[in-house]
């Protein structure tokens, strides 16, 4: 080993000086290291000896110790199309005839065999996917070569995985410790997140007990969350998923409503349907500057004042410690998050924790977190067939990048999950809808799919026609439960409603897989439409947490395969910038014409 003076990195935060590595610059491992960490040539005349380096997230490492640590599990961030296992995977295209595989006793054996236990009693069944044992063996090779296990470990141990924004990715820490303590600027982040959740729990208990009440000393009966994107889609989906369960199990405390759209009709509709005097509002904005959220806050405050109420007695904030909302007297309390938790991954932070604890009680939210943590633990499994999130991800990569399927439909056969597909749209499409890799280089292969869906059986009477007989093959992700949440049902024509629901999902899986030939082409079904199903006994808080974390981890693993940064969202920024120009009347050309068309 000899000193390579050309390897140097200046950290963008400005807190660090330079970093030199003792290594052989001609070795491939060193070239990979240079690329992975963004090294560049040293400025002329700079020949400082190695010294302890302070990373942008506040940790100190001595370079030689750091290099030894990295050589144990050197991470190689490579594009999918450079991996040997991917070439093997492409050679497997079309080797499984799904209609034949799912027919008769062969299909029955697959249903029993191709299932992987998930956390909290759930199971991932992939019998109706176009895979076999040989293809699964190649997927295992791909998982190893892409270092999915090691990259996940790097993430939860506090490595800087969000390269676009130079941030850690710590949403798993909101539900439990998976690895080493993550210390940032002297703060243990697990302790910080747990502390904020404890604050939210104590606040919720005081609200439920009437210790925190309105100006007349009366209890609040409704909680309204004001937020957009990840501050709305995830928490709203989680609330709706548990509302019936909570009512059936004596855990329903406050009705929750949500205001997200800057369209004034959204806020007006909610405000007209609630008792303002008995409503508590949760304003969610990490930066404290989100245009839509602050606009809706002003809308709500005006309504409260017009009703003779003091807004500061009816509002709390979920924000960052550096936000202008953090120390404002306009709120009863403030609960904190940070930049290491992206909005679409924030349902298990105080973004979801405050509203869900108020709605159902902190004990229910804690059960939800325990389910998510259990799923995070299964995602650590080295064996692909014991790691449902990784397996789901890799089958998805095969379908996207080898079979060429551009869309995935999420089809929960549970009305409680009516908004879950909308949340997964943001989770998946905002995370992996990227055209460049982690280094800003264009990728030459498809990345994240389009996600859409609706609950069954409603969807069967809507878009299933295209799914069965359209010209595009669309992989399907079913979710189903053996028992309903409310405990109410009726026997009609020899079967209960729940049995009819489950019968439909079973029938759809087989219809999509096997199809049915008919002399009339208009009535002929080709089959070969792949699907998987996540099955559980009942949608409980634990099962919901496990379901959420499964998809978060699936998206993460796919991002690792595609070598994209799944944790930034630059694609949403341009529209915001142009909207500000429109509102400031700083437009010309077509943008000005559109502004005039809309009377702005």
Task: Select from 369, 404, 427 the last residue of a domain.
Answer: 369
Please name the helix (run of DSSP H) or strand (run of DSSP E) that holds residue 280, with its range, or none: strand 279-284
- Calculate Rg over the CA atoms of the chain: 26
How many structural domains compose the chain? 2
Residues 419, 421, 424: CA angle, nearest 5 degrees: 115
Residue 3 has pLDDT above 90, yes or no: no
Residue 63 has pLDDT above 90, yes or no: no
**296 lies in a domain?**
yes
Task: Select from 346, 369, 392 the last residue of a domain.
Answer: 369
pLDDT of residue 64: 30
CA 448/CA 163 separation, integer angstroms: 18
**433 lies in a domain?**
no
Q: pLDDT band for position 290 (50/70/90)?
A: confident
Check if the beta carbon of residue 319 is closer than 8 Å to that of residue 519.
no
Written as six digits, the tokens of 404 are 């060429």
**340 lies in a domain?**
yes
Q: What is the pLDDT of residues 200-253, one digit of tens each?
A: 999 999 999 999 999 999 999 999 999 999 999 999 999 999 999 999 999 999
Q: Residue 196: exposed, middle, or buried by beta-carbon count in 10 A (0-12, 13-18, 19+)?
A: buried
**505 lies in a domain?**
no
Task: Select from 348, 369, 390 the last residue of a domain.
Answer: 369
Whole-number percent of the chain with pLDDT over 90: 86
Written as six digits, the tokens of 294 are 């602050």
Angle formed by the axes of helices 362-378 and 541-562, nearest 10°: 40
CA 545/CA 201 separation, integer angstroms: 18
pLDDT of residue 291: 87
**206 lies in a domain?**
yes
CATH code where residue 264 lies:
3.40.50.10490
Domain extent at residue 256:
183-369
pLDDT of residue 327: 86
Written as six digits, the tokens of 412 are 């929960």
Sequence-separated (6 or more) residues with CB below 8 Å from residue 195: none
Angle formed by the axes of helices 573-583 and 291-306, nearest 10°: 50
Q: Which of 72-76, 98-102, 367-371, 412-416 has the lowest mean pLDDT?
A: 72-76
Which residue from 60, 46, 49 is spatially nearest to 16, judged by alpha carbons?
Answer: 60
Q: Determine the 3-state secondary structure of 594 from DSSP.
A: helix
Sequence-separated (6 or more) residues with CB below 8 Å from residue 108: none
**268 lies in a domain?**
yes
Q: How many CB atoms lie within 10 A of CB 88?
A: 17
pLDDT of residue 270: 98
CA dihedral of 226, 228, 232, 234, whole degrees rounded to 10:
-150
Which residue from 106, 133, 136 is spatially nearest to 514, judged by alpha carbons?
Answer: 106
Owner of token pair 């609330």: 239
Q: Residue 513: exposed, middle, or buried by beta-carbon count in 10 A (0-12, 13-18, 19+)?
A: buried
Owner of token pair 């409260």: 304
Q: pLDDT band for position 7 (50/70/90)?
A: very low
Residue 51 has pLDDT above 60, yes or no: no
Written as six digits, the tokens of 554 are 């699936």
| Average pLDDT, integer, range 51-70 | 34
Q: pLDDT band for position 128 (50/70/90)?
A: very high
**131 lies in a domain?**
no
Q: Which residues pair with 407 in a beta bridge?
A: 450
**Residues with catalytic roles:** 430, 461, 576
DSSP strand pairing (531-536 vs 123-125): antiparallel
Residue 429 has pLDDT above 50, yes or no: yes
The average confidence (pLDDT) of the chain is 90
Written as six digits, the tokens of 116 are 């992987």
Task: Identify the sign of the CA torsion 496, 498, 503, 504.
Answer: positive
CA 175/CA 516 separation, integer angstroms: 46
Residue 59 has pLDDT above 50, yes or no: no
């Amino acid at each position: 080993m000899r000193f390579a003076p050309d390897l140097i990195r200046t950290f963008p935060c400005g807190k660090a000086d330079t970093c030199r590595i003792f290594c052989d610059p001609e070795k491939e491992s060193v070239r990979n290291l240079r690329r992975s960490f963004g090294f560049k040539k040293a400025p002329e005349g700079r020949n400082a000896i190695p010294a302890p380096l302070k990373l942008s997230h506040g940790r100190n490492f001595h370079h030689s110790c750091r290099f030894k640590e990295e050589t144990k599990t050197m991470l190689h961030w490579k594009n999918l199309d450079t991996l040997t296992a991917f070439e093997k995977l492409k050679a497997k295209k079309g080797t499984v005839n799904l209609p034949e595989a799912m027919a008769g006793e062969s299909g029955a054996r697959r249903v029993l065999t191709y299932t992987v236990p998930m956390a909290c009693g759930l199971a991932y069944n992939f019998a109706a996917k176009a895979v076999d044992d040989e293809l699964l063996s190649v997927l295992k090779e791909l998982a190893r070569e892409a270092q999915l296990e090691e990259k996940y470990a790097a993430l939860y141990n506090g490595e800087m995985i969000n390269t676009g924004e130079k941030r850690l990715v710590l949403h798993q820490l909101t539900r439990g410790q998976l690895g080493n303590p993550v210390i940032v600027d002297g703060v243990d982040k697990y302790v910080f997140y747990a502390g904020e959740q404890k604050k939210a729990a104590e606040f919720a208990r005081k609200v439920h007990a009437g210790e925190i009440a309105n100006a007349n000393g009366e209890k609040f009966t409704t909680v309204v969350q004001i937020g957009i994107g990840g501050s709305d889609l995830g928490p709203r989906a989680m609330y709706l998923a548990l509302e019936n369960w909570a009512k059936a199990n004596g855990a329903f405390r406050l009705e929750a409503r949500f205001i997200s759209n800057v369209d004034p009709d959204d806020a007006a509709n909610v405000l007209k349907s609630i008792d303002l005097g008995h409503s508590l509002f949760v304003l969610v904005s990490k930066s404290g500057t989100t245009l839509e959220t602050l606009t809706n806050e002003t809308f709500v405050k005006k309504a409260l004042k017009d009703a003779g109420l003091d807004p500061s007695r009816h509002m709390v904030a979920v924000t960052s410690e550096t936000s202008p909302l953090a120390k404002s007297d306009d709120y009863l309390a403030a609960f904190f998050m940070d930049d290491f938790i992206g909005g679409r991954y924030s349902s298990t932070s105080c973004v979801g924790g405050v509203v869900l604890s108020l709605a159902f009680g902190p004990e229910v939210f804690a059960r939800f977190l325990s389910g998510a943590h259990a799923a995070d633990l299964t995602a650590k499994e080295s064996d692909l067939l014991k790691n449902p999130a990784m397996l789901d991800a890799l089958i998805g990569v095969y379908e996207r990048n080898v079979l060429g399927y551009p869309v995935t439909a999420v089809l929960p056969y549970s009305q409680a999950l009516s908004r879950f597909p909308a949340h997964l749209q943001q989770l998946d499409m905002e995370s992996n809808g990227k055209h460049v890799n982690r280094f800003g280089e264009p990728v030459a292969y498809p990345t994240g799919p389009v996600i859409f869906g609706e609950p069954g059986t409603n969807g069967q009477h809507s878009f299933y026609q295209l799914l069965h007989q359209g010209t595009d093959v669309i992989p399907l992700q079913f979710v189903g439960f053996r028992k309903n949440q409310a405990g109410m049902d009726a026997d009609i024509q020899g079967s209960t409603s729940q049995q009819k629901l489950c019968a439909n999902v079973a029938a759809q899986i087989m219809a999509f897989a096997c199809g049915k030939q008919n002399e009339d082409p208009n009535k002929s079904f080709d089959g070969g439409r792949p699907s998987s199903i996540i099955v559980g006994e009942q949608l409980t808080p634990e099962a919901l947490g496990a379901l959420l974390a499964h998809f978060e981890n699936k998206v993460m693993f796919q991002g690792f395969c595609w070598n994209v940064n799944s944790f930034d969202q630059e694609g949403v920024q341009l529209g915001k910038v142009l909207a500000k120009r429109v509102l400031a009347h700083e437009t010309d050309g077509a943008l000005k014409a559109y502004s005039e068309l809309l009377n702005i």
